[in-house]
Amino acid sequence: MPDRSVRIPASALFSATARVFGALGLPDAAAAAVAEGSVDGDMRGIPSHGLMLVPMYAERIGAGSVTTATKGEVVTDLGTIAVLDAKNALGILTGDQAMGLAIERAREFGISAVAVRHAFHFGGAFRYVMAAAEAGLVGIAAANTRPLMPAPGGAATVVGNNPLAIGVPRGSAASPDGTGSTAEIGASDGAGPIVLDMALLEAALGKIRIAAAEGREIPPTWATDSSGGPTTDPEAAIASLLPTNRSAATYHGFDQILRIENDLQGACYAWCRRRHDLPPTAEAPPRFPFRGGDF
């Protein structure tokens, strides 16, 4: 198959994407932040969480299910713990806000947790834990998604492919004086952080969508068809949305997904929508608010 890829400078992609969101009503700084987050996904080799999402974001802003607000409202503030109501703003903006608040409070108290309710898709979770790690802190980010996965041995989808990311600083950023004191947090010797960002199934749904768009097969361990058998056809996988659940590792993934769901439900004070209430992110009517949760 001939290579039909086109190389475009990242700066050009950033400018064009920022103009898109500016035209949709976002202020310049907010449009730039969303553009930067979108382009960064592609630059890091994660196109499933990059510019591929821009049309969906734009469609939902146009339909009114996603707003052009630039930040959420802090509705619970207990010092080291806070809850942010995103009010259906773009997830990158409220995700940045939540992690910024968590960093601020962790510097003050030594630890912090910020949950976000009424949240929309926040792109790649790596973005937020990198911000924490670059500030000299260990960062954790997670979110819930639409139901995609049955329980091991089951057939009905009951939980989503919830993302989980962890970022750990290295070098002097981790403990500049060698004591681990939070009073010195923030220094850096240029060493990049250690970052883990993963889906809790074998692959994110976005990767299956990219394979379908490019006419590629997927590994047979990624998903099943409507009959429950493994498939290499991404279109059949999207139609069935039943990820494979035959490996022992999936039991562990299912357990972690439930942990994220329960943590979000408690942290958001029962205002995050439960996994079975979430509409399909890409397939739902654009006017339907996602109202998910992240942490």
Average pLDDT over residues 52-62: 94
Tell me the pLDDT band of 286, cut-offs 50, 70 and 90. Answer: confident
One DSSP character per residue, 114-165 reads EEEEEE---S-THHHHHHHHHTTS-EEEEB--SEEEEPTT--SEEEE---EE
For residue 270, pLDDT beyond 60: no
pLDDT, residue 18, reads 98
Residue 257 sits at φ, ψ, to 5 deg, of -60, -45
Q: What is the DSSP string of 195-254?
A: EEEE-SSSS-HHHHHHHHHHT----TTS-B-TTSSB---HHHHHHH-B----SHHHHHHH
In the predicted structure, residue 89 carries a pLDDT above the cut 70: yes
Minimal CA–CA distance to 158: which of 281, 239, 258? Answer: 258
Q: Tokens for 48?
A: 């499933």
Q: Residue 235 has what pLDDT?
A: 84
Q: What is the pLDDT of residue 116?
A: 93
Q: What confidence score (pLDDT) does residue 155 get? A: 61
**How far, in Å, CA of 272 to CA of 261, rounded?**
9
Contact 26, 71 (CB under 8 A): no
Which long-range CB contacts under 8 A does 218-223 form with residues at least 24 apart?
220/244, 221/247
Which class does domain 10-63 fall in? mainly alpha
Q: Which two tokens stand for residue 76?
A: 């619970």
Q: Tokens representing 270?
A: 């029962």
**C-alpha span between 23 and 1 (Å, rounded):** 37
CA distance 114 to 84: 7
- Residue 221: the pLDDT is 79
Cβ(163)–Cβ(199) below 8 Å: yes
By the 8 A CB rule, do 30 and 93 touch?
Answer: yes
**CATH architecture of residue range(s) 71-201+248-295:** 2-Layer Sandwich (3.30)
pLDDT average, residue stretch 226-250: 66
| Confidence (pTM) | 0.79
Write down the pLDDT at residue 169.
Answer: 93
- Is the model's pLDDT at 255 over the cut of 70? no
- Give the model confidence (pLDDT) of 152-207 as tens digits: 666 666 777 788 899 999 876 555 333 444 434 444 455 789 999 987 777 777 78
Whether the pLDDT of residue 14 is over 50: the answer is: yes
Residue 11 has pLDDT above 80, yes or no: yes
Which residue bears the tokens 């996994």? 275
**For residue 275, is pLDDT > 60?**
no
The pLDDT of residue 183: 38
Name the more confident of 284 and 176: 284
Distance between start and end Cα atoms, the chain: 42
* pLDDT digit string, tens, across residues 120-141: 999 999 999 999 999 999 999 9
Q: What is the pLDDT of residue 245?
A: 43
- The pLDDT, as a whole number, for residue 176 is 36
| The CATH homologous superfamily of the domain defined by 202-242 | Hypothetical oxidoreductase yiak; domain 3 (3.30.60.50)
Cβ–Cβ under 8 Å, residues 169 and 136: yes
Instruction: Please name the residue that has the structure tokens 């960064």.
Output: 40
The structural domains of the chain, with segments of one domain joined by +, span 10-63, 71-201+248-295, 202-242
Report the side by side order of strands in the sheet with 81-85.
73-77, 81-85, 113-119, 292-294
- Dihedral sign computed on CA atoms, order 51, 135, 86, 271: positive
Mean of pLDDT over the chain: 80
To which residue do tokens 């009959």 refer?
Answer: 227
Instruction: Please check the confidence at residue 281 and state whether its pLDDT lies above 70.
Output: no
Whether residue 100 is predicted with pLDDT greater than 60 in this model: the reply is yes
